[in-house]
Structure 1
Amino acid sequence: MRVLCSSTLIGEFFVIGFAGLVAMKDDSLATATVWTVCGIAMLLSVLLCGAITRPGGVQLGWALQIALVASGFFVPVMFFLGAVFAVLWWASVHFGRKIDTIKADWAARQAAEPAGAQGSVGPDAA
């Protein structure tokens, strides 16, 4: 799960940065405010990469997804991009957990086999 979720979060890092550039064009938004908010969101997306497997990591990721969709009120294209990344986040969590389960089952089977019978074929062999 960690790899899939981290990939999504790094993609969001770049999207948030580009959204900040777009938001700077809006005369009603202060540049300092735009970059403070974008900077915090970008920092959160990077920090979540390391904290995703800890308690509350996935929930913080969902909070970031909600914030991305809500940023559409300032940069309208973020309604669409936020929704896309929310779907990617769901897929990363859902399929990442399935992959983790499959890897754990495979590791348990490998540990249960006699030492001479272990082969090199597994989920990471490719």
Structure 2
Amino acid sequence: MPDAFEIVSNEVTVGQVPEKVNIVIPIATVSGLHARIQKKDGNLSVTDLDSTNGTFIDEKRLRPGVPATVLPANYVIFGDIHLAMFRATKLQNVEAATKAEEPEDKVETDSPTGNRETS
């Protein structure tokens, strides 16, 4: 399980089944498709996707299907406070930072030889 993860897209899903989610948390109390995390207008929100054991912000259980705002220093808990707890540390608008500079189209891939390529 990751100690930390960076959310680079505007929306990611969290759960236990790799085929269904962007962020995998391999813990029995986390549902296959557990929650959705969204970044919009400088805000971060999490929505419980009707998980079995719930999603919490600072130990307050979220209502399934209802987005809740996550603030820096809030704890987001997926299913079990002792196994799947993450703390929001900062929210950075990457898109705004790139607009100040000339955007550059780069694609990073792993080559079959294991060397990193940029095109």
Give me the TM-score of the superposition, normalised by structure 1. 0.30
Structure with max Cα Rg? 1
Structure with larger RCO (C-alpha < 8 A, sep 6+): 1
Give me the TM-score of the superposition, normalised by structure 2. 0.31
Greater per-residue strand proportion:
2
